[in-house]
């Protein structure tokens, strides 16, 4: 969790998921709403980076028992080199997304690292540092941010599990959505709802529930918009319906 020291064998932003759960949706199903690098011997390649330098950076980050992958421990080491907070700074997730860390949760593989370094023209800590200002999520349009937001869920899964622990979801929501992407009241009240609900079916959150909250926040950004929410016509996950009921009880819709 943010603010706590991460152990080498745990998730960076919270506890790993330990079991899967299914998403409940009124009306039925889980359908969406509305239905190895090479060495160049030290010379710069044609792409403009020094591949051996990029490989050496990765070698300093990779796991001792798996030289083809850098886990969360190596990623935290990279964050230390870049002087960014691995537990709080969303730019570390943006960087991993832009590098293409997609094959397995909670790690970046060597071929992904090398391909990402070529794409972003990176082969040194200084070049990584110069990239940091461009990693602000405010530079993303809605479609691009949607892809990144999905990545944040997928990257933080544990092994083959399809869900994230509720506490981890709350930490990630605050990390990804603070700063104006959605209204702060919507973010804060939803996180409060997740933290206080006693419904055990929401101890694990699915990708569909994760993505639905962002879409819901776009469609119902504030109290005035939420006044128009009609649960009887809802195609949102039941989690969203129950959040709206929670808001009504708090008088937030009045």
| Per-residue pLDDT, 27 | 40
10-residue mean pLDDT series, the chain (254 residues): 39 43 40 39 66 98 95 97 96 98 97 98 98 97 98 96 97 96 97 96 97 97 93 92 94 56
Phi/psi at 26 (nearest 5 deg)? -65, 140
The rounded distance, in Å, linking the Cα atoms of 11 and 16 is 6
pLDDT value, residue 173: 98
H or E element at residue 82: helix 72-82
In the prediction, which pLDDT does 233 show?
87
Q: Which of 248, 209, 207 is nearest to 230 (CA)?
A: 248
Task: Kindly list the distances between the CA atom of residue 12 and the CA atoms of 82, 86, 106, 188, in Å, as whole numbers in the listed order.
Answer: 16, 7, 8, 22
Q: How many residues does the chain have?
A: 254
The predicted pLDDT at position 130 comes to 98
- Residue 227 corresponds to which tokens in the numbers above? 């006044």
* pLDDT given for residue 20 in this prediction: 37
Can you give the pTM of this predicted structure? 0.83
CA 52 to chain centre: 30
Nearest to 55 by CA among 79, 76, 37: 37
Distance CA 174, CA 235 (A): 25
Torsion sign (Cα): 224, 225, 231, 233: positive
d(CA 86, CA 14): 12
Do the beta carbons of residue 206 and residue 163 sit within 8 Å? Answer: yes
Instruction: State CA 80 to chain mean position distance.
Output: 20
**CA–centroid distance for 246 within its chain:** 26
Cα–Cα nearest to 99, from 73, 127, 65, 66: 127
What's the confidence (pLDDT) of residue 48? Answer: 87
């Amino acid at each position: 969790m943010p603010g706590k020291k991460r152990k080498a064998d745990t998730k960076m932003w919270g506890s790993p998921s330990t079991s899967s759960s299914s998403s409940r949706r009124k009306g039925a199903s889980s359908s969406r709403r509305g239905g190895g690098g090479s060495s160049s011997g030290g010379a710069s390649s044609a792409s403009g980076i020094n591949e051996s330098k990029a490989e050496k950076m990765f070698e300093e980050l990779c796991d001792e028992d798996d030289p083809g992958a850098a886990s969360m421990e190596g990623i935290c080491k990279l964050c230390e080199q870049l002087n960014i907070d691995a537990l709080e700074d969303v730019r570390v997730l943006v960087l991993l997304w832009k590098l293409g860390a997609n094959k397995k949760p909670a790690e970046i593989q060597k071929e992904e690292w090398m391909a990402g370094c070529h794409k972003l023209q990176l082969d040194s800590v200084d070049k990584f540092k110069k990239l940091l200002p461009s990693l602000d999520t405010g530079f993303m349009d809605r479609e691009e941010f949607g892809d990144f937001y999905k990545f944040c869920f997928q990257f933080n899964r544990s092994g083959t599990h399809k869900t994230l622990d509720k506490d981890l979801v709350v930490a990630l929501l605050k990390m990804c959505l603070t700063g104006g992407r959605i209204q702060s009241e919507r973010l804060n009240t939803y996180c409060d709802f997740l933290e206080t609900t006693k419904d055990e079916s929401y101890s694990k959150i699915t990708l569909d529930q994760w993505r639905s909250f962002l879409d819901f926040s776009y469609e119902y950004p504030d109290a005035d918009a939420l006044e128009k929410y009609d649960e009887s016509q809802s195609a949102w996950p039941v989690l969203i319906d129950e959040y709206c009921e929670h808001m009504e009880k708090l008088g937030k819709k009045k």
